[in-house]
Structure 1
Amino acid sequence: MKALLVSILLCRMSPIVYSKQEVRDYEELISQLKNNNILHYSLPYPKSRFLNYLALTGLYVFHGSNHKKIDRFEPRQQTLFNNEVTKAVFASADPNWSIFYAVLDRTKIVGSFRNGCVSSNGKRYHYYSLNASTQKNNPWTDGMLYILPKHSFERADQGKTYFDEWISHEPVAPIAKLNVSIEDFYFMDKVATHKDNESLVKTWLLYKARLLLSGLGLTK
Structure 2
Amino acid sequence: MIDWLCRIFLHYAPEIKFSTEEIQAYEQLALNVTDEGLIEYDLPYAKFRYLTYVSLKGLYVFHGSNHTGIRIFEPRKQTLYNGQWTKAVFAASDPHWPMFYAIFNRSRLKGNFRNGCIRGQKQNYHFYSLNQSTISNDPWTEGMVYFLPRQSFTAPKPRGISFDEWLCHEPVAPIAKLKVCPEDCYYFNKIAVHNDGESLIKTWLLYKARTRTTPTEGEH
Q: TM-score range by the shorter chain?
A: over 0.9
Matching of residue 151 in structure 1 with residue 151 in structure 2 = yes
Matching of residue 86 in structure 1 with residue 83 in structure 2 = no
Greater helix percent: which structure? Answer: 1
- Deviation of 1:33 after TM superposition, in Å, equals 6.2
- Deviation of 1:160 after TM superposition, in Å, equals 6.7
Show the 5 A alignment for 1:83-162: 83-159=83-159, 161-162=161-162
SS state at 1:24 partner: helix
Show the 5 A alignment for 1:170-209: 170-209=170-209
In the alignment, is the contact (CA less than 8 A) between 2:32 and 2:40 conserved in 1?
no
Matching of residue 45 in structure 1 with residue 42 in structure 2 = no
Greater strand percent: which structure? Answer: 1
Distance 2:24 2:160 in 1: 33
- Deviation of 1:195 after TM superposition, in Å, equals 1.5
Distance 2:207 2:33 in 1: 37
In the alignment, is the contact (CA less than 8 A) between 1:35 and 1:175 conserved in 2?
no
Q: Which runs of 5+ in 2 are unaligned?
A: 215-220
In the alignment, is the contact (CA less than 8 A) between 2:72 and 2:171 conserved in 1?
yes
Cα distance per residue 1:163-198 (max 9 Å; x no partner): 111010111100001111001110011000112212
- Deviation of 1:157 after TM superposition, in Å, equals 3.2
SS state at 2:207 partner: helix
Cα distance per residue 1:123-152 (max 9 Å; x no partner): 011000000010111110000110101111
Find the counterpart in structure 1 of residue 59 from structure 2. Answer: 59
TM-score (norm 2): 0.92
SS state at 2:210 partner: helix
Q: Which amino acid aligns with 2:58?
A: G
SS state at 2:22 partner: helix
Change (3 A) 1:123 1:110: same
TM-score (norm 1): 0.92
Q: Which amino acid aligns with 2:132?
A: A
Q: Which runs of 5+ in 1 are unaligned?
A: 216-220
Change (3 A) 1:13 1:158: closer
In the alignment, is the contact (CA less than 8 A) between 1:147 and 1:176 conserved in 2?
yes
Change (3 A) 1:159 1:32: farther
In the alignment, is the contact (CA less than 8 A) between 1:88 and 1:167 conserved in 2?
yes
In the alignment, is the contact (CA less than 8 A) between 1:114 and 1:129 conserved in 2?
yes
Runs of 4+ in structure 1 over 4 Å off: 31-36
In the alignment, is the contact (CA less than 8 A) between 1:36 and 1:174 conserved in 2?
no
In the alignment, is the contact (CA less than 8 A) between 2:133 and 2:196 conserved in 1?
no
Distance 1:85 1:35 in 2: 36
Q: Which amino acid aligns with 1:181?
A: C
In the alignment, is the contact (CA less than 8 A) between 1:111 and 1:196 conserved in 2?
yes
Find the counterpart in structure 2 of residue 218 from structure 1. Answer: none
Change (3 A) 1:166 1:35: farther
Q: Which amino acid aligns with 1:131?
A: N
